[in-house]
Amino acid sequence: MTESSFQILLDGIDTGKTTVLDICKNYNEQDPLPIITDEQFNNHPFFTKYFSIELCKMLEQWFSEGSLDENQQEIFQFCSKFLLKLTKADSNTKQWLNQQTEVIDLTEKCLNEIASYGYYIGIGGVEDPSLESFDWLIQAFECVQCQELLNVLVKTVTSRFYIDAFYCLSYVNAAALTITQQFLLFTCPDYILTCDINKTYSLKIVNKMLGQYDEIFAEFLPYIKQWTTPVILCLIYPITFTLLNIRSLTFEQKKLVYEVILTILLQKSAIDPTIEKVRVILIHKSLCLLIEIMRSDKDLANQLKNKSDKKSELIDVLNDLAKNDSDDEIRLKALALLSLLIPEEEFLKDNKKEEVTGLFVKNFNEAVQDGTDKEIDDVLNGLKGR
């Protein structure tokens, strides 16, 4: 469909020739997607009136009655898919969508129903057919970094339903996620990590959930060699939340995290073609977390350097990771951790000084180009070694 044809379709909304469903369906089918102009976002009745009204009707019905009929399900599905595609394709969507206060309010109410009572989700009940459409809606709000939903999303990922979703992962070998698991264990935490600019919401999560995270890993770690891609993807979020706030934790809390991360590094360091992409993410996050523990807690650092019977095994793992040319970030973190574990003379004997310095300089330059202060600090700390 050409831009002019799509404009004709939009213009039909005021005369009743087309409906919101017609427009959403047609937009979703286009490749490439039609370009929406600022003028259309700001002044066209489809965006200023009709779309919001139709989506609010669906959300209000879902919230007040707890379900949608087949026709309403279809409208909700195509509206949510339209919105998600639109937010991914057009940066101009951000201001417009963040101004849809009634849509945001109703979305927040539906999220609260999930967080408070477990409505719509497939934990202790039947999964609502519209949950996937709601998941797309939440992803759309994530794309435009809507801040208004953060509080209720924190409530969702600290609820008992979030914990129960982990224990429904067929223990450790889930081949795929249900919509409920996708929503609770992936979409919601991903939203928070994307939109929590100051990391204040992440700290709330860790303060409330660290004990539960420990119980989850205690359940999953004995079967670590069987972890599948979906399981690892879900487990990465607790690790990431903890990483963001590790320095604020007590010694006892850090010790629990330390034991978990050490097990992951020792058991998941070898290349595994079946899960390689997520294994790399898992190892990178784990290395970052152990480095932060070492730098922020002298007692745990000394325990690992001087008293742990796993030190030599960990050093072997780190040496292997440091020689892996396929991922510079993992090499960098492995070298940084090695520099904290072994004497400088031994470190320089096993690693060519020029290559090590070159790798750190390369990552420093990339961090400067990206403008990420935290990453710059990490590289400088790694370069100093201690």
> In this structure, is residue 330 part of a structural domain?
no
Residue type for 8, please?
A: I
- Total domain count, the chain: 1
> In this structure, is residue 139 part of a structural domain?
yes
Mean pLDDT for the chain overall: 89
- Res. 359: pLDDT tops 60: no
Contacts of 177 (CB under 8 A, 6+ apart): 169, 185, 186, 230, 234
C-alpha–C-alpha distance, residues 212 and 226, integer Å = 21
- Res. 1: pLDDT tops 50: no
Could you tell me the pLDDT band of residue 386, with boundaries at 50, 70 and 90?
very low
Contact 73, 130 (CB under 8 A): yes
> In this structure, is residue 97 part of a structural domain?
yes
Could you tell me the pLDDT band of residue 382, with boundaries at 50, 70 and 90?
very low
What sign results for the dihedral spanned by CA atoms 298, 300, 304, 306? positive
> In this structure, is residue 134 part of a structural domain?
yes
> In this structure, is residue 123 part of a structural domain?
yes
Between residues 174 and 77, which one has the greater pLDDT? 77
14-66 pLDDT, tens digit per residue, is 999 999 999 999 999 998 898 898 889 999 999 999 999 999 999 999 999 99
303-319 pLDDT, tens digit per residue, is 998 888 899 999 999 99
Could you tell me the pLDDT band of residue 379, with boundaries at 50, 70 and 90?
very low
Could you tell me the pLDDT band of residue 380, with boundaries at 50, 70 and 90?
very low
Report if pTM > 0.85.
Answer: yes
C-alpha–C-alpha distance, residues 146 and 24, integer Å = 22
> In this structure, is residue 138 part of a structural domain?
yes
In terms of residue numbers, what domain contains 104?
1-148
Between residues 144 and 372, which one has the greater pLDDT? 144
- Res. 384: pLDDT tops 50: no
> In this structure, is residue 25 part of a structural domain?
yes
